[in-house]
Chain A
Amino acid sequence: MSQTYHLTTPLNETDVTQLKVGDIVYLSGVIYTARDAAHKKLVDLLDAGESLPFEMKGAVIYFVGPTPPKPGDPIGSAGPTTSYRMDSYSPQLINEQGLKGMIGKGKRNQEVIDACVKSKAIYFGATGGAGALLARQIKSSEVVAYPELGPEAVRRLEVVDFPLTVINDTYGDDLYTIGRAKYEVFG
């Protein structure tokens, strides 16, 4: 049976190792946004031996490129983008920088799943296409790096009870594989 947790960032090893695929997590605290263009810049900084624009240890990165906010709103619609485009960057951030959580949608490759086991991190799914609903849980948004990337800039978000499902846990399991096996009809 899946469990429900309320967690606050930054996440530590105890936070993440208790989670299993299919668990529901309501996440609060600060999270950072980055899509592929920003990930490339972050990894280039590391390769050049420079420091990152935010603390990666215990951090959670949300793969999202929001719509522009309407006047008076902290952010526009903000649902997850497809995560595989970050697969080539995530293991380095998990294994070497202590990234503890990623929020997106869709399959990750084996390298990411292995990194989640080795260095204790979680891949969370948020509901794709629920951008208006998810934006309600985002209380503030501030661009902290790469404003030139527009919707792809790195943003610091404060979230309250952001609704997530554990897709890949620290034990190497994958909800997409397990869930589909339950309902696939061969004929």
Chain B
Amino acid sequence: MREIEYKDIVKGVRDAIIYSGTNLPKDAYKALEDAYANEKSEVCKEVLKQLLDNADIAANEARPLCQDTGLAVFFVKVGEEVKIKGGSLKKAINEGTEQGYKEGYLRASTCHWDTRANLKDEIGYNLPAIIHFDLVEGDGLEVEYAAKGGGSENVSRATVFAPAKGRKGIVEYVKQVISDAGPNPCPPLTVGVGIGGTFEKAVISSKHALFRELGSKNEDPVLESMEQELMSVLNNLGIGSMGMGGTQTVLGVHIEKNPCHIASLPVSVNVQCHSSRHIKIKF
């Protein structure tokens, strides 16, 4: 067994959240630079310039990139041979989240579903974190974190098709979701698509797809070709940066697949705004 200290996980998560709140990841920054270079609309070019300036100001002055610092979403791969010394893994991630959001001057955005009262005093500052655990072989511990904002989450959709819909049906569905979303989710976007599995598996895969590095290729050639097709279809919608009308609507389309039931074709589309704050921590 390999032992990892509880307090090291708390600190690792805390530091990653604070860093991530003010530093746009390199892949997202590069994607915005490329969008700026390729954009035909002057209005959208100005928006993209503001976004790049914003990223510079945020990093140089340690200010949050966006006021929506999200719910804290984690994908955690924990090895079967790992033991957490001094507490539980779930508790450590939540404690690191609370410390990171509070000490990084990030926003506490969790509220009661009905009364809408902020839950920072009742449950904890921006708690609970949304954590997806995966138990894996070995003695590693890998924690991926993203700040998931509300605007882009609100336009995300999922459905279960009859298998006959196939690839064509999936492309049409993703196009419709992004078309309906228009300016609301803060384009240019990363579009995560989860295909197959059960209903919830497709949704979780679409979320996980957003953690993949922008500009990276899909290892599956069929999915890679679908991603290329969707990039072109979605950019042709003409939505542009902040919906002002332009040629650069998406920075990337990332697809994850799962084997599915013989009767079903689940599809989920999870949308990520241009401020794609994600980071990986290995312990």
- Chain A residues engaging chain B, CB cutoff 8 angstroms: 2, 22, 37, 64-70, 76-79, 81-82, 84, 105-107, 125, 127-133, 135-136, 149-152, 163, 165, 175-176, 178-187
Contact = CB atoms under 8 A, between A and B. Distances in A.
Contacts of A186: 236
Contacts of A106: 151, 182-184, 243
B63 interface: yes
19 contacts: A2-B43, A22-B43, A67-B67, A67-B107, A68-B106, A77-B63, A77-B66, A77-B67, A82-B151, A105-B183, A107-B184, A129-B275, A132-B64, A149-B118, A163-B50, A176-B243, A176-B244, A179-B244, A183-B245
A125 B105 CA distance: 25
6 tightest A-B CB contacts, nearest first: A179-B245, A183-B238, A184-B238, A106-B184, A185-B236, A77-B64
Given A64-B67, A106-B182, A182 B238 contact: yes
B238 A180 contact: yes
A131 B118 contact: no
Contacts of B236: 184-187
B116 A130 contact: no
B273 A128 contact: yes
A186 B179 CA distance: 13
Contacts of B206: none
A181 B51 contact: no
A77 B239 contact: no
A81 B54 contact: no
* Secondary structure dominating the interface of B: loop
Contacts of B107: 65-68, 76, 151
Contacts of B240: 179-180, 183
A129 B273 contact: yes
A151 B109 contact: yes
Nearest to B106: A67
Nearest to A150: B118
A23 B271 CA distance: 29
Contacts of B242: 105, 125, 127-128
A127 B108 contact: no
B108 A150 contact: yes
Nearest to B107: A67
Given A37-B116, A81-B151, A128-B273, A182 B66 contact: no
B53, B106, B154, B184, most chain A CB atoms within 10 A: B184
Contact of B43 (A70, A129, A179): A179
Contacts of B78: none
A176 B238 CA distance: 10
B182 A129 contact: no
A66, A77, A105, most chain B CB atoms within 10 A: A77
Contacts of A181: 238, 245
Nearest to A64: B67
Interface string B10-47: 00000000000010000000000000000011010001
Interface in B226-279: 236-240, 242-247, 273-275
B245 A176 contact: yes
A180 B245 contact: yes
Contacts of A135: 63
B41 A182 contact: yes
Contact of B183 (A65, A131, A163, A176): A176
A79, A131, A165, A186, most chain B CB atoms within 10 A: A131
B186 interface: yes
Interface in B160-174: none
Contacts of A67: 64, 67, 69, 105-107
